[in-house]
Chain A
């Protein structure tokens, strides 16, 4: 039997270190190839790490929550009798394994050096599908059986709960488009979901089956399975709100000048229509150039200050939200921002964004103005250092030159990672955003 070295997988080109979010197997557990060993967090996504070798998880070298460099040994899988002492005591313990390293002497020479992980797999993929089939062995984890819905809410003909029959291509496209395969009716043999089904679903997201309106005589409640997006949000938000110490600074912006400018701009023929949010994006991009400390990420031992501004723009969807990234916003004109952010939002609603358009933001903006929200606070999307919550532009009584008149006002609330910045830094940034919006010609130069 071979000893399998479990190393920190390289899950993206830029990845240098990875964090073990959680081991899903414990020391002493029997492992089969394909079992999910742990959840790994990279800068981009959380990824499930699959085992290649089989045996017993003998030693975990990097505990939950710890970070390790790519290629370093983080666990060892071997049969109970095998000597793993030499491997575990290797120089540097978790240091990156040099390729020229001689195999350990003795009977344990047959050591697999394959990284114990699959290529990047977005965590949205159905967890259950990646488990080995239940009959694979007595040690396969029993999958909790979802409670049967009180009412048939989905047309899915699948006999096996959780398992969706889909062609490999359909699966790939669905993962890219963020489409939940479980909500799609498969048109292939035996209900197989094929490419055209995913494409149709991506093009018409609103056709997702909606539970029938509750009747008075019906059951008192309904347990809806989490959509993959909901599950991702549910998992990620506590990872922000828990470990990231948030603080908030708010400011009210006089939007009269910006409103007037926007009306003038939108009256121009042949020019893209500019939204209030586009003005805010542009103002933030310019202000972030002046306040690079806000455009920064906490790295544990250091702060990473980004030199480019990629703005994540939160887009509400039927069943969640998604944050497409407007890249290099600092280098784009207001018109460009308007065109690109509209395109991103439209494709986000159609679920046609590419995965690379969903990651890499250095700062985010969430705008609930269209819902007449006066003000709110947003949760930071790690590893970003801050997020700006934008309220509605309201007409309110304002004191002007000693009298009271009508004016347009908008509330901005900046959520800041206290590990990255302090109150004054956040406040100065917000002050500049406000100034840019109140003197909006600055947004055009």
Chain B
């Protein structure tokens, strides 16, 4: 075990996988000479050279297409989006080619590609650069979608994503790059895709949250613990395929659920999680599943309005009180 930042954990994962398998290469804007807009690819050009660390023009659709073509003929590209909001320019390549090629070719062309980069609300990045992009992708059959919340998960899940034979959308977060945590230094350490993790055990309500919201939920847990309410925080880690079993198991224990997501709530991740909880654990529920979501509005630039749009610890606490029918609730 070593303590390192989330950014360093991603860098280590890339480095280990590139050493392990010479089919793995990195392609994107500023990944080589500039060593990444967020320095995730620091030192890789020096170690692996320009054949495997490929700087591209500002052309997401183009370099994503290059990556998909390379994957179709046997390489294992890691495509970096400077921010995942830019992946919108490559949406046709990702949705119509990466996700469907294996199906449409009758299994002749698997596309083992990883498309990674930061996404979600950060610090005053405003309307166009703060979107929770996962919702654009997890709806598409053929894509796997990962959102790693900790340095350990960043490393273990990125390695699993690179080794996976399917296209994997791997969305990091600007706000988490400097978070430090213990990370396995075993080059064979991977975290299988599709496994949720219980971040904190509790008995009164299950809170499902990932990325920054997971940390908000852990803070809310402290506030609630002081009121005598014990929450269990479950981090799905992979959004598709979703580990429904762990979440359902937790709900069967606590009988109440709150789902938190940074993005706007309409048809969001929380809707999906609330739906399968209701389908699979209806008789175990003592309250309707609550969602705490971002407001349905573009992200404002102003700091105070940015805070108002994004779920806070207080809103999570209030939602948990409501599902627990606790006295401090706003109802």
**Interfacial residues, chain A to chain B (CB-CB below 8 A):** 167-172, 187-189, 194-196
Contact = CB atoms under 8 A, between A and B. Distances in A.
B286 A189 contact: no
A298 B284 CA distance: 39
27 contacts: A167-B285, A167-B286, A167-B287, A168-B282, A168-B283, A168-B284, A168-B285, A168-B286, A169-B255, A169-B283, A169-B284, A169-B285, A169-B286, A170-B286, A171-B283, A172-B283, A172-B284, A187-B325, A188-B287, A188-B325, A189-B331, A194-B286, A194-B287, A194-B325, A195-B255, A195-B286, A196-B325
A169 B255 CA distance: 8
Interface centre among A168, A171, A194, A196 (most CB of B within 10 A): A168
A297 to B, nearest CB: 32
Interface of B: 255, 282-287, 325, 331
Contacts of B286: 167-170, 194-195
Contacts of B283: 168-169, 171-172
A168 to B, nearest CB: 5
Binding site secondary structure of chain A: helix
A202 to B, nearest CB: 15
With most chain B CB atoms within 10 A of its CB, the pick from A169, A172, A189, A195 is A169
A191 to B, nearest CB: 12
A167 B187 CA distance: 49
Contacts of B284: 168-169, 172
Contacts of A167: 285-287
Interface of B is mostly: loop
A187 B286 CA distance: 12
B331 to A, nearest CB: 5
Contacts of B282: 168
A121 to B, nearest CB: 11
A172 B284 CA distance: 8
Nearest to B284: A169
A171 B286 CA distance: 9
Nearest to B331: A189
B33 to A, nearest CB: 59
A196 B331 CA distance: 17
A195 B324 CA distance: 10
A172 B287 CA distance: 13
Nearest to B288: A167
Nearest to A188: B325
B278 to A, nearest CB: 9
A378 B286 CA distance: 41
Contacts of B287: 167, 188, 194
A59 to B, nearest CB: 33
B237 to A, nearest CB: 28
B74 to A, nearest CB: 45
A170 B285 CA distance: 8
Contacts of A196: 325
A354 to B, nearest CB: 16
A195 B286 CA distance: 6
Contacts of A172: 283-284
A429 B331 CA distance: 64
Contacts of B331: 189
A125 to B, nearest CB: 13
Give 3 nearest A-B pairs by CB, closest first. Answer: A169-B286, A195-B286, A167-B286
B182 to A, nearest CB: 38
Contacts of A195: 255, 286
Contacts of A169: 255, 283-286
A196 B285 CA distance: 13
- Central interface residue in B255, B283, B325, by most chain A CB within 10 Å: B325
Nearest to B255: A169
Given A169-B284, A172-B284, 20 more contacts: A167-B286, A167-B287, A168-B283, A168-B284, A169-B283, A169-B285, A169-B286, A170-B286, A171-B283, A172-B283, A187-B325, A188-B287, A188-B325, A189-B331, A194-B286, A194-B287, A194-B325, A195-B255, A195-B286, A196-B325
B253 to A, nearest CB: 12
A205 to B, nearest CB: 21
A187 B325 CA distance: 8
Contacts of A170: 286
Contacts of B285: 167-169
A392 to B, nearest CB: 45
Contacts of A168: 282-286
B178 to A, nearest CB: 42
B321 to A, nearest CB: 12
A171 B284 CA distance: 10
Nearest to B252: A169
- Which of B282, B283, B286 has the most C-beta atoms of chain A within 10 angstroms of its own C-beta? B286
B274 to A, nearest CB: 14
A188 B286 CA distance: 10
B8 to A, nearest CB: 45
A189 B282 CA distance: 18
Find the residue from B282, B284, B285, B287 having the highest chain A CB count within 10 A.
B287
A58 to B, nearest CB: 32
B277 to A, nearest CB: 11
A135 to B, nearest CB: 22
A133 to B, nearest CB: 18
Contacts of A171: 283
Contacts of A187: 325
A280 B19 CA distance: 81
A22 B283 CA distance: 28
A169 B287 CA distance: 8
Nearest to A195: B286
Nearest to B287: A167
A298 B15 CA distance: 77
B257 to A, nearest CB: 12
A184 to B, nearest CB: 14
Nearest to B281: A168
A167 B287 CA distance: 6
Nearest to A193: B286
A193 to B, nearest CB: 10
A194 B204 CA distance: 14
A167 B285 CA distance: 7
A188 B282 CA distance: 17
A189 B331 CA distance: 7
B44 to A, nearest CB: 52
Contacts of B325: 187-188, 194, 196
Nearest to B278: A168
